[in-house]
Amino acid sequence: MADIQLSAERVVHAIRTMRARAGRLTDVVGHSQGGMIPRWALSFWPYTRPMVDDLIAFAPSNHGTVDAEGFCATRRCPAAFHQQRRGEPSRSSWSGQCRAAPDAKLVRP
């Protein structure tokens, strides 16, 4: 549960590497924090957007998670847990800055 920014940098590296090796667009799939981090990566590294065909996020923690509260109350928290706590200033600031691509489609079940 590394710092979300560091995790996003790894996602950016993976997107660039897969694009270079495959020579075609890639899909990104994630769950929970793994669904939120690619959104962050595509927002702050917009040059990666044309490299991605689809971003599929299952239950992403875009607005924080109550799970972090319980976990942090009982033990020492990894950076990512602190960053995903509801009301956490760093989470609020980056979440408000994340923007979907102009042609993005949101599909909800």
pLDDT tens for residues 43-71?
Answer: 889 999 999 999 988 888 777 777 777 77
pLDDT at 99: 58
Domain containing 74 equals 4-97
Considering the domain boundaries, does residue 31 fall inside one?
yes
Report the domain count for the chain: 1
Q: What is the mean pLDDT of residues 69-81?
A: 75
Asked if residue 104 is part of any domain, the answer here is no
The verdict on residue 108 lying in a domain is: no
**pLDDT of 34:** 84
Residue 60 CA to residue 77 CA, distance in Å, equals 19
Contacts of 79 (CB under 8 A, 6+ apart): 1, 2, 3, 4
Output the pLDDT for position 23: 94
* Most confident range, picked from 8-12, 37-41, 65-69, 96-100: 8-12
pTM: 0.74
